[in-house]
Amino acid sequence: MDWQPLVLTFKLAVVTTAILFVVSIPIASWLSSTRSKIRPVLETLVSMPLVLPPTVLGFYMLVTFSPENAFGNWLNEWLGIKLIFSFEGLVLASVIYSLPFMVQPIQAGLSSLPSTLKEASYTMGKSKMTTLLKILLPNIKPSLLTGIVLSFAHTIGEFGVVLMIGGNMSGKTKVASIAIYDEVEALNYAAANSYSLILFTVTFIILLLVYLTNGGYFKRYSQ
């Protein structure tokens, strides 16, 4: 069996999750505290990947970043960035595609905290940054964990957007979900089954761990 697609899948998931974590905290923090009029618009944009067919996102990214176009050409010629049929392109697409899975739990977590925690910290002379890092985030650990795991699992499971923007290049953009499709097309059911079983098991274990942790099972049995 070719392990490359699986390795690529997990590499993509790790990189995507790491980037999402860093990007989503400021977005979620802004969304949970702002009264700005553009908030619903931004919330909608963040949530769009939940309902939009991945192929739509993939299609527009393909069109935008294609070297045939002015923007894609500029990226390619001036910055040397090629986002189509490349791992970098996959990462960007996955980040956009999994954004709601990271932003929403963190936003919900932050909104659930009483605003007095933040205000108490401000009256103690602490900056917004210090308050976020030392007070707010440590008190929403279950939400952070949920966000991380959901984005990770969701990235493992994506298919359409990866196929559109990444193509199906062995060792470069061919992730496990696409490899399964490939093997089935080639009537190679045994290989398809191996990939599927591994993905099934890994995602099951990851999600189970989250539910056990957030449900307090580990704490209960360790005491």
Partner 1 sequence: MISLNLKKTLKSAGGKMDLDLQLTIEKGQFVTLFGESGAGKTSTLRMLSGLLKPDSGTIKVGETIWFDSHKNIDLKPQHRKVGYVFQDYALFPNMSVRQNLEYALRKNQDRTIIGELLEFAQLGELEQRNPETLSGGQKQRVALVRALVQRPEILILDEPLSALDLKMRIKLQEYLLQVHKKYNLTTILVSHDIGEIVKLSDRVFELQNGSVIKQGTAAEFFGLNKTSAKFRFSGEILKIQREDVLYVISVLIGNDIIKVVADRTEANNFKIGDQVLVASKAFNPIIQKI
CB 136 to partner 1: min, Å? 10
Give the Cα separation of 223 and 219 in Å (integer).
6
**R_g (Cα) of the chain, nearest Å:** 20
CB 149 to partner 1: min, Å? 21
Under the binding rule (CB under 8 A), the answer on residue 219 touching partner 1 is no
CB 118 to partner 1: min, Å? 9
Strands (E), the chain: none
Residues 42 to 61 in contact with partner 1, rule: CB under 8 A: none
Which of 123, 190, 222, 223 contacts partner 1 by CB under 8 A? Answer: 123
Q: What is the dihedral of CA 107, 110, 113, 114, to 10 degrees?
A: -90
Give the Cα separation of 98 and 152 in Å (integer).
8
- The span of 28-36, 101-109, 123-131, 173-181 binding partner 1 (CB under 8 A) equals 123-131
- The span of 101-109, 130-138, 172-180, 211-219 binding partner 1 (CB under 8 A) equals 130-138
CA contacts within 13 A on the Cβ side of 143: 22
Q: Which is nearer to partner 1, 44 or 123 (CB)?
A: 123
Compute how many residues bind partner 1; rule: CB under 8 A. Answer: 16
Task: Please enumerate in sequence order all residues whose Cβ is within 8 A of that of 9, keeping only pairs 6 or more positions apart, or say none.
Answer: 156, 175, 176, 177, 199
| Binding positions for partner 1, rule: CB under 8 A | 114, 116-117, 119-127, 134-135, 138-139
